[in-house]
Chain A
């Protein structure tokens, strides 16, 4: 996984709560057996005026110019701003792959659905939760004075607006280290092989039927 590096970017506001993973990446793109190539189809149904198909060249598709990703002022933006329960619904990690492939490395929202939240950390994407009042303020700032940028500093756990306003965010230490160092958590877990084997030995005695093969 790529290391998370501090950066500055324009905030892309999506003023909705309950943005679901079906919206982030519609089902037809889930047929891919690859782990990348989803960026052109991020928010496909909101972003284009036609129905997208996998493998299609998106450069000639009619754009929904009212949708924020298509507005010039937000082009190149790498931070997404949204409201409550972002990433709800399907567990599809393709939703995070689409964000990452598009270039979004940080989402700022009121709250997240649990599966989406976990999937972010597996792909170098930082999901920041801020209180509702802060989210309101960021949306208001964008509505009143146009696109605004922020500095994301993961080490210091801050998102700093152009105005100088500093938003501090919480993050679990383990997850923070994984993002900063781009760690492969399978390798980390395998370091505990001894603990896993001990657990299995004990458990096999207690509930032996759970260790029977699922034969075909």
Chain B
């Protein structure tokens, strides 16, 4: 008998009902809610006179629209304010726990879940947000859904789904100095492409993943969606258990011991087979920088912008040419010569304490370059902010000329006031470099927190080790 993958186990454990045509009803243990994709779901419940099936299996927090300055003044944009107030009202009406904007625990939903211990191994977790994949770092099956499915989960605690295929990506070797999990995941996306993982759940394995911290694993899983996979996974080990111990929503006492034994089974069996498997030697990895308008358009900091004529096929030749036009870049330009206007450090990809520490290490005792109009540091949650301030990271940043902000999604998608102006070029630790993503006409390069800080200091991309 062949073994089971972690995904197989998670799927089987949550199977409520299976139909002959392959459609299944799967049980959802936790739903995370935020203001942008939930209002219409609550309205749907109300119209159909339905109630949440298990209101206490939901946790809500506003993150996309919240301002990162003068939090006490509230939200000045009336449409955004209405959306956040609608979340507050819906949570109050339906009895759902919400961390309000003024709550010290408020933050980006994918930072808050693990931080509170709400995210646990063996769970199924959904949220109306594609970066729900983040939570897979703790051995949970976590994926993004649309608003209709948010309503479906509220009403039934289940989802109609079909089983995905299994993919494993083995990241072997030890990360060289100056490279981080962000560089690993960008290299993976460069290798398999933005649709390489479509239809699959990706498990990240290999020595580099075992050595990675929980937060680094979250960065990996966060961007599984940028490789096309709705869910990323990392098998549970002692690091997972240690991370969860003592967190507010983690099980306590005897229950914790029982949970621990269960969690440690959330791994792929040694003899399990995958539908697709890749290996990447990361001991030779260089810091990664995206140069185009899709995360798969990525290169090493010491490479040059590729020539569309060298693209593997005609479609990509056209896509590359269009991307270079939008990015105002030419083939052959050295990546480390690209000058920047703005820098953004934060987001559910890289807004955790270790990310801020890595950026602060680079920024310490240095100054942001003259050509950088704005360098933002936005902690992923209120608790990350408190921790960073306790460590003095905020002072390192502000003394270097960075702005230290309140927690939220901020300039990752620019739904609040933090955004690029047309034509501005930004080094960002977020996850998407799509046209207009960070602001109308803005140009985004995705990088690690260390590279973002180094780019802010140098004014252009540079290997953080050579700063």
Contact = CB atoms under 8 A, between A and B. Distances in A.
A35 B151 CA distance: 13
Interface residues of B, number: 86
B12 to A, nearest CB: 12
A51 B440 contact: yes
A207 B262 contact: yes
Given A115-B145, A199-B16, A18 B79 contact: no
B27 A203 contact: yes
A108 B30 CA distance: 34
Contacts of B144: 91, 115
Given A22-B436, A33-B43, A190 B155 contact: yes
Contact of A16 (B128, B151, B319): B319
B72 interface: no
A209 B251 contact: yes
A116 to B, nearest CB: 8
A18 B432 CA distance: 12
Contacts of B322: 16
Contacts of A123: 148
Contact of B415 (A31, A89, A209): A31
Contact of B148 (A32, A34, A55, A93): A93
Contacts, number: 198
A126 to B, nearest CB: 16
A68 to B, nearest CB: 14
A33 B198 contact: no
B109 to A, nearest CB: 12
A203 to B, nearest CB: 7
Interface in A103-141: 111-115, 118-119, 122-123
B268 interface: no
A20 B437 CA distance: 10
Interface of A: 15-18, 20, 22-23, 26-28, 30-35, 45, 51, 54-55, 83-85, 88-93, 96, 111-115, 118-119, 122-123, 172-174, 184-186, 188-190, 192, 195-196, 199-200, 203, 207-210, 212-216
Interface of B: 16-17, 19, 21-23, 25, 27, 29-30, 36-37, 39-40, 43-44, 48, 50, 53, 56-59, 64-65, 77, 79-80, 82-83, 86, 97-99, 118, 120, 122-123, 128-130, 143-149, 151-152, 155-158, 160, 162, 194-195, 198-199, 225, 228, 230, 249, 251, 255, 258-259, 262, 294, 315-316, 318-319, 322, 413-415, 422, 432, 434-437, 440-441
